[in-house]
Structure 1
Amino acid sequence: MGVDPTASVHPTAVIEDGAVVGPNCSIGPYCVIGPQVQLAEGVVLHSHVVVAGITSVGAKTTIWPFASIGHAPQDLKYAGEPTRLEIGSGNRIREHATMNPGTVTGTGVTRVGDNNLFMMGTHVAHDCDLGSNIVMSNNAGLAGHCIVEDRVILGAMSGVHQFVRLGRGSMLGGMAAVVADVVPYSIVAGDRAHLAGLNLVGLKRAGAEREHIKGLRLAFDGLFGREGTLQDRVTAAADAHTDNPLVQELVRFMSTSSQRSYTQPAD
């Protein structure tokens, strides 16, 4: 398939045999595109971008200078296996960002959804699974095997331990060190990060109904109280708020098997 005739390619760019560059792509100066890379329609690579490995980049994604996309994962067990990186549509990947493919000891693929913003110096490690409409602020990093659901915001220089899950609509404060799962719609902050309440601003921006937010606050207080077991509190929240989609999302997240514990409020 090669380079579509409608694509714009700077003469200093290197596109290796086998690469696919789709319609209306723009490849800037000194970019390097590997032989197993596929760029969908309208992808823009500004100067000095390198895309390697078995990597697909979705339509209208833009990548800024000095980003390194698809190179071998930072895993000492990796031995060159043909693992993948799949990036969705409409993403903005800023300067010096890095994204790695999966590993055979994980899922074999790193997935990134649509319409995300990866600011300068962000890192998405091997076997991560990211949703859509996520913001990773400057120098935020995800270790391997993390799951990040839709509309999560990671503050500048925050770091997430391997295998941690970040629930939908949650927010990490700047420089937060997150070593345990973060429940949906919450805010965590600090080193080590603690649960600091609900992400009320994010909920309002997402158009959540006032009554649903009110119910979520009640369920949140009960879930992270000290009475009974965690399973009892999860069951009680599910039963008390059967018609509240925000609470049911929280319950779903906390009922899913995980390799990590949950980020808790400060004592």
Structure 2
Amino acid sequence: MSLIHPTALVDPAAELAADVSVGPYAVIGPQVRLGARTSVGAHCVIEGRTTVGEDCRIFQFCSLGAVPQDKKYAGEPTRLTIGARNTIREFCTFNLGTAQDRGVTAIGDDNWIMAYVHIAHDCVVGNQTILANNAQLAGHVQVGDWAIVGGLTGVHQFSHIGAHAMAGFGSHIAQDVPPFMMVDGHPLAVRGLNVEGLRRRGFSAERIALLKLAYRVLYREGHTLAQALAQIDELAGTHPDSEADLTLLSDFLRSATRGIVR
């Protein structure tokens, strides 16, 4: 208990690994579980059915696991799950899920979440993402692995952001952002392929070249979405090394529920 500050209020029913640290005046509720080596800063409130994985750093003044900002919520036993090795900076707010959706708000592993980020009910955030200061995710939003959401960006409910996509500062996202693309502005527009991000993640020149071809097919050659999908499928079939990338892109396009940014 030497890692728990004497002014912190930790419910006896909470499950904390032996090496969890909790700062001054933090409040930990009875249904909270915190994994090994996780640290909780001063004045944080972690409540509800919330699970946090190992090696997370939660900075001061965060609110995690509060009830959803949804008038339909009636006290159902919904959850918030946060994976391992996440950095969660000051004043972040993550809410529980709702019974109307999957019942859980889920954040994966190795995410870098900056100050004042809001993650609403039933959001799904993947792994290795960056959510910059004041990024705001409305309910039911999904963010793919390695995606970057710029500061002061608002994401409309039910919108999806694909893996390896990047949204610039102050974007207004109300449609689905396909994987690998860079978008910004209001109205939102695709500015190109996220080439530099892909290079930093070890994508080969050949993989990037094929994704550039797919980008041109989708955005620069005047095709309908159906025509573009047919051509992307053909590209995938003839380039085995890039098949997984192109399949990820085409599957996302086919499953888009709010239409894609185009």
For the aligned pair, the TM-score class normalised by the smaller chain equals: over 0.9
TM-score normalised to the size of structure 1? 0.94
Which residue identity is paired with 1:251?
Answer: S
Which residue identity is paired with 2:26?
Answer: C
Contact 1:154 1:172 in 2 (8 A): yes
**Is 1:110 matched with 2:110?**
no
Instruction: Tell me what 1:142 maps to.
Output: 137
Contact 1:213 1:246 in 2 (8 A): no
Question: C-alpha distance in 2, partners of 1:23/1:185?
Answer: 41
Question: C-alpha distance in 1, partners of 2:6/2:200?
Answer: 44
Which one of the candidate residues 65, 74, 89 is aligned to 1:79?
A: 74
**Corresponding residue SS for 1:222:** helix
Which residue identity is paired with 1:261?
Answer: G
Question: C-alpha distance in 1, partners of 2:210/2:106?
Answer: 33
Instruction: Tell me what 1:42 maps to.
Output: 37
Task: State the shift of 1:73 in Å.
Answer: 0.8
Contact 2:90 2:116 in 1 (8 A): yes
Structure 2, gaps ≥5 residues long: none
Contact 2:133 2:150 in 1 (8 A): yes
Q: Bigger CA drift: 182-191 or 217-226?
A: 217-226
Which one of the candidate residues 175, 180, 204 is aligned to 1:180?
A: 175
Instruction: Tell me what 1:253 maps to.
Output: 252
Contact 2:61 2:91 in 1 (8 A): yes
Question: C-alpha distance in 2, partners of 1:192/1:122?
Answer: 22
Task: State the shift of 1:226 in Å.
Answer: 5.5
Task: State the shift of 1:80 in Å.
Answer: 1.4
Instruction: Tell me what 1:263 maps to.
Output: 261
Question: C-alpha distance in 2, partners of 1:197/1:260?
Answer: 20
Task: State the shift of 1:52 in Å.
Answer: 0.5
Cα deviation per residue 1:25-53 (whole Å; 9 max; x = unaligned)? 10111000001000011110011111010
Contact 1:14 1:30 in 2 (8 A): yes
Question: C-alpha distance in 1, partners of 2:254/2:259?
Answer: 12
Cα deviation per residue 1:177-217 (whole Å; 9 max; x = unaligned)? 00000001110000121111111111000110101111111
Pairing 1:1-267 to 2, within 5 Å after superposition: 8-225=3-220, 227-242=222-237, 243=240, 244=242, 245-256=244-255, 258-264=256-262
Question: C-alpha distance in 2, partners of 1:100/1:222?
Answer: 39
Q: Bigger CA drift: 175-184 or 215-224?
A: 215-224
**Corresponding residue SS for 1:9:** coil
Task: State the shift of 1:23 in Å.
Answer: 2.2
Question: C-alpha distance in 1, partners of 2:221/2:156?
Answer: 26
Task: State the shift of 1:253 in Å.
Answer: 1.2
**Corresponding residue SS for 2:66:** coil
- Determine what percentage of the aligned residue pairs are the same residue: 40
Which residue identity is paired with 2:115?
Answer: M
Question: C-alpha distance in 2, partners of 1:240/1:19?
Answer: 52
Task: State the shift of 1:227 in Å.
Answer: 4.1
Cα deviation per residue 1:223-247 (whole Å; 9 max; x = unaligned)? 2246443122112111123221322
Q: Bigger CA drift: 105-114 or 14-23?
A: 14-23
Task: State the shift of 1:70 in Å.
Answer: 0.4
Contact 1:179 1:192 in 2 (8 A): no
Which residue identity is paired with 1:160?
Answer: V
RMSD across aligned positions (CA): 1.2
Aligned length: 258
